[in-house]
Structure 1
Amino acid sequence: MNTPPHPEPRAERPENGGATGAAVVGLARQVDDLTRRLDMLGPVNGRIDELTQVVAETAQVLATLAARRRPAAAPSWLLAPAEPEQVAQLLDELTEWLRRVFLRYPDGAAVVPECWAWHADVVEELLWLMHGWCAAYQGPDASVQLAGDWHDRQRPGVVNRLRKSVGSCSIEAHQTRPGWGAPPGAPAPVPGTRHTDLIVDWWATGREQTPPEPPTDDRVAQGSIGGALR
């Protein structure tokens, strides 16, 4: 007796593709929706990239400006290096500036005595005032505002302090000052320049010691300035 073969079971197909088909269709719709959303964000992403570039460039510009506007440090006479050449350069530059600028003001000429270079505080005051003038008139950020501050505050302040510390002007000083009778507006000569070599040697090599005695006119005429150091 032959047994009829068992028929192979057929996979049931749920109506409309069953649960799996519905999930696939839903997923496809979500992907399509996300794709459309990403397409809409395309211009926004481009704008973000542009803004990032702008921010980076702005930061670079600000850093450059900050570096340019950083005030330059003025050299200090009180902390000058113990090198005669550098001390001489500081004093030479200051002397020239005094002649060309500071001593053109009558009150400035009145408060700079013959012995000004022996007063370290006076040299320090005049040195930073010179660099304040350079920053106001010649520096990378020179401006009318800085020049006004120099005239209104810095220069008068130094003049007042020098007047208190090293004396004030008098009629006798005007009558006997070198250069009397010079054309109006001509700068007064810088006093004490014949002693600058003596000051350079002392300040560069022995500023902690007693300052040298200023030589008399006879010793200067005889060329014996160096004797004051011995």
Structure 2
Amino acid sequence: MSAPPHPESPEPGAPSPRVLAGLAHEVDVLLRRVDGLDPLTGRVDRLEEMAVRMADTVKSLVGRKQKLPAPSWLLAPTEPADVAGLLDELTVWLGAVFLRYPDGASVLPECWLWHPDVVEELLWLAHAWLAAYQGPDASVSVAGDWHDRQRPGVVARVRKSAGSCSIERHQTRPGWSAPAGAPVPVPGLEHAAAIAEWWARSREQSPPEPAPAAAGPIGGALR
């Protein structure tokens, strides 16, 4: 009859106490290393949260305006202050961007405010520029499309629609003659308030006549 196994003797096929002790030591070392990573893991999590919040903030700030459709001059509101705001933003952009291009400066007549289709073209072109350079989807390719296709297309249509027009063609007052003087950087800007009032309140009626004192000698005016 065989003797019972010694209590300290390992079961057949089981690891020896020395192996178990080695494994326990390795596990302890690994646990200590993982515990040491906790502060770093926390910092990474906080950075990720900050990045998400910053991205959401930037997107909301930029997209608050740029995600909206381009305003329409042809369907502009009837409140004079709103219409004046559209013209104010547009004229600022014209002076800062559009008129920097020689073909843009040469094609825009002083009477452009009397041409609703021209104002409509310039409004959407301005917002296309904003989307290409400052919007949430701004990119080199979108900016390239603005330069290669959108801006030249608007210039060509403005030239065809009003490129040969002049302020005196909208003037019907007898005896009118235009005073001499250099044109303003944005042509016809002095008429913006009158045009805004007309377009807001009575765009279905004839536009107001340009005041003689505000008109310039551009386009073959009488001297």
Report the TM-score when normalising by structure 1: 0.56
Q: Is the 8 A contact 1:117 1:196 kept in 2?
A: yes
For 2:127 and 2:181, the matched residues in 1 are separated by 27
* Counterpart in the other structure of 1:111: 107
Deviation of 1:155 after TM superposition, in Å, equals: 0.0
Which of 191, 197, 200 is residue 195 of structure 1 equivalent to?
Answer: 191
CA distance in structure 2 between the partners assigned to 1:88 and 1:127 by the alignment: 13
- 1:106 deviates by 0.2
1-structure distance, mates of 2:129, 2:164: 23
Q: What letter corresponds to residue 143 of structure 2 in structure 1?
A: A
How far did residue 178 of structure 1 move?
3.8
Q: How far did residue 194 of structure 1 move? A: 0.8
Residue from 91, 98, 116 that aligns with 2:94: 98
CA distance in 2 between counterparts of 1:107 and 1:118 reads: 20
Matches within 5 A, 1:8-157: 72-157=68-153
1:168 CA drift (Å): 5.4
1:21-75 CA distance string (max 9 Å, x none): xxxxxxxxxxxxxxxxxxxxxxxxxxxxxxxxxxxxxxxxxxx9xx97x953100
* Separation of aligned partners in 1, 2:122 and 2:182: 21
- Contact 1:137–1:143 at 8 Å: present in 2 too? yes
Large movers: runs of 4+ above 3 Å? 176-179
In structure 2, the partner of 1:167 is: 163
Q: What is the identity, as a one-letter code, of the residue corresponding to 1:104?
A: R
Contact in 2 for aligned 1:99/1:189 (Cα 8 Å): yes
CA contact (8 A) 2:67 2:135 kept: no
Counterparts of 1:209 and 1:166, CA distance in 2? 20
Contact 2:118 2:158 in 1 (8 A): yes
Q: How far 1:142 sits from its partner (Å)? A: 0.6
Structure 1 residue 93 displacement after superposition: 0.2
| Matched letter for residue 213 of structure 1 | E
Conserved in 2, the CA contact under 8 Å of 1:178 and 1:189?
A: no
Greater CA radius of gyration, 1 or 2? 1
Q: Which digits, 9 at most, give the CA deviation of each residue in 1:135-180, with x for residues without a partner?
A: 00010111001100000000000000011111259xxxxxx9947x
Residue of structure 1 in register with 2:13 after alignment:
none
Residues of 2 paired with 1:105 and 1:177: CA distance?
A: 23
Give, in whole Å, the separation in 2 of the partners of 1:101 and 1:114. 17
Q: How does 1:202-221 map to 2 (within 5 A)?
A: 202-217=198-213, 220=214
Give, in whole Å, the separation in 2 of the partners of 1:126 and 1:82.
20
Deviation at 1:94, TM superposition (A): 0.2
Distance 1:158 1:177 in 2: 28
What CA distance in whole angstroms lies between the structure 2 residues aligned with 1:89 and 1:139?
20
Q: Are 1:84 and 1:201, in contact at CA under 8 Å, matched by a contact in 2?
A: yes
Aligned residues: 139
Amino acid paired to 2:104: G
Structure 2, unpaired ranges of 5+: 1-55, 166-179, 216-223
Residues 113, 141 of structure 1: alpha-carbon distance in 2 compared, 3 angstrom cutoff = same
Any gaps of 5 or more consecutive residues in structure 1? 1-63, 170-175, 180-187, 222-230
The 8 Å contact of residues 136 and 143 in structure 1, kept in 2 or not, is answered as yes
